[in-house]
Amino acid sequence: MNNIGQAQAWNGCIFSAGWKTARGGTEPVVEPATGEKIGTIGIGSAEDIDSAAVSASKAQKAWAGVPFDERAAIMREAACLLKERAQEINDWNVRECGSTRPKAAWELHATYEQLQMAASLPMQPDGTLYPSTIPGRTNICRHVPVGTIGVIAPWNFPILLGMRSVAPALALGNAVILKPDAQSAVAGGLLLARIFEDAGLPNGVLHVIPGGPTTGDALVRHPKVGMISFTGSTGVGRTIGEICGRMLKKVTLELGGNNAIVVLDDADVEAATSSGAWGAFLHQGQICMQTGRHLVHRSIVERYAQRLAERARGLAVGNPFTEQVHLGPLINEKQRDRINDIVQSSVSAGATILAGGDYKDLFYEPTVLAGVTPGMPAFEQEIFGPVAPITVFDTDEEAVELVNSSAYGLAAAIHTHSLSRGLEISSQVRAGMVHVNDQTVNNEFHVPFGGMGASGNGGRFGGPVNVHEFTQMQWVSLTDKPIQYPF
């Protein structure tokens, strides 16, 4: 066994210009699969956030002046350390967050790619030369750091979704205060703080302060924090957006989704059900890009439903730390009860359970619902659990209408034999990401990622667009000889 359960330097602490006792007290780290306490984390208070913001503001000025190759070298060293400590990080991801081994390994590798991508950002062109209507003037528009960026990360993919903002923000010369969710604070925060500390990041540039809503609210409202990058629920995102709007603070919101897979009449049913099962059940469905609605043409819906149910019944559910399973536990009882209420309410409204529909402790069976129609909870709500609701359509136009009936607009998938048909439908779908002959849960570190509508405020992560997200534009004009004006 590794370091889990043993005394740790971060035990009960936060990382803020060194390891410090948290003023907000401590909380136990509880393993969802067993209910066992496996550690203790410190919880940041408003005072901790204030101290971190002051420290970060001072450290950022020097950090922004560090040559780009030195900043890049620290990012690359952090990437190497992430790989070296893979077993420890993955074990915490499995036990603390309920991840299966393959999911944890994929998340770590994707985070490694994010770090390597971030290392390349400081050496990219950081300005544009514009012509001028005034003779002798040179116009330069360049990217400058925001200053201190607050990152609020979720518990489902805590390492990747935290580092997706932290790494590019640091690489581009900002200081960062990361607030990981208390349910994933070790894997998604404290272990990452150790990595950057050992990689040589200057003291005070990165702060990691776990906590809940009170900690997050203090971070969002602090005047020395110039930007918030939030990944989480749409409800909380709306509140953060309102606060940042009043403060005229830059904000990036990556929110929820009710993502649809559209299976047309000419689709390969075997391939479509594989995509449908993966998108619906991966990580117990606890993914913002989860395939939450399965829209299937009437001519093939029976075959699709039967095959998807067979796939669901073939998936093993259990403790991912001690067993080889496909699905681990849900994160907590509140999530389990909410998911079960959606299922049971939809059944009461006329849906039929073809597979699953039951649970033991926090282990929810992969569930397939047939006969789901608009208005049912399983159609209208973001489920965030291992449930695949199936809805019938008759025409391409009806399928598009069903997809766009949701306020969310994060991801969608279309299965068809005709790429031109898939491309045409994709142009009508209101979603930030559309995948033809694939499923909705997709991420590539260099491709812009983000949603529309209730799924986000239009910001994007990934590759060069990170430069626009985590900097501000500054116009500098230069004239060798001062201009003389009429007065």
pLDDT of 285-334, one tens digit each? 999 999 999 999 999 999 999 999 999 999 999 999 999 999 999 999 99
Query: What local confidence, expressed as pLDDT, does residue 126 receive?
Result: 85
For 383-432, what is each residue's pLDDT tens digit? 999 999 999 999 999 999 999 999 999 999 999 999 999 999 999 999 99
Q: Write down the domain spans for the chain.
A: 13-255, 259-436
Report the percent of the chain where pLDDT is more than 90: 94
Per-residue pLDDT reduced to its tens digit, 72-125: 999 999 999 999 999 999 999 999 999 999 999 999 999 999 999 999 999 988
- Name the average pLDDT for the chain: 96
Helix (H) or strand (E) holding 95: helix 86-97
Active-site position among 77, 107, 254, 382 = 254
User: With 70 as the cut, is the pLDDT of residue 17 above it?
Assistant: yes
What's the pLDDT score for residue 5? 43
Q: Which of 97, 197, 288, 382 is labelled catalytic?
A: 288
Residues 6 or more apart whose CB falls under 8 angstroms from that of 135 comprise none
| Active site (annotated) includes residue 141 | no
In the residue annotation, 13 being an active-site residue is answered as no
Q: Is the pLDDT of residue 2 over 80?
A: no
What pLDDT does residue 413 have?
98
CB-based contact 318:366 (threshold 8 Å): no
Q: Classify 13-255 by CATH class.
A: alpha beta
Return the half-sphere exposure (C-beta side, CA atoms, 13 A cut-off) of residue 467. 17
Contact call for residues 121 and 172 (beta carbons, < 8 A): yes
∠ CA 136-141-146, rounded to 5°: 145
Residue range 248-256: mean pLDDT, rounded: 97
Q: Which residues contact 487 (CB under 8 A, 6 or more apart)?
A: none
The pLDDT of residue 463 is above 90 = no
Assess whether pLDDT exceeds 70 at residue 7. Answer: no
Residue in this structure with the two tokens 């489920």, named with its chain if needed: 383
Give the list of residues 6+ apart from residue 346 with CB closer than 8 angstroms, or none.
Answer: 369, 372, 376, 377, 378, 379, 389
Q: What is the pLDDT of residue 459?
A: 77
pLDDT digits (tens, 9 = 90+) for 188-238: 999 999 999 999 999 999 999 999 999 999 999 999 999 999 999 999 999
CATH architecture of 259-436: 3-Layer(aba) Sandwich (3.40)
Above pLDDT 70, what percent of the chain? Answer: 99
Transcribe 314-369 into DSSP letters: T--BS-TTTS--SB---S-HHHHHHHHHHHHHHHHTT-EEEE---EETTEEPPEEE
How many angstroms separate the CA atoms of 428 and 345, rounded?
31
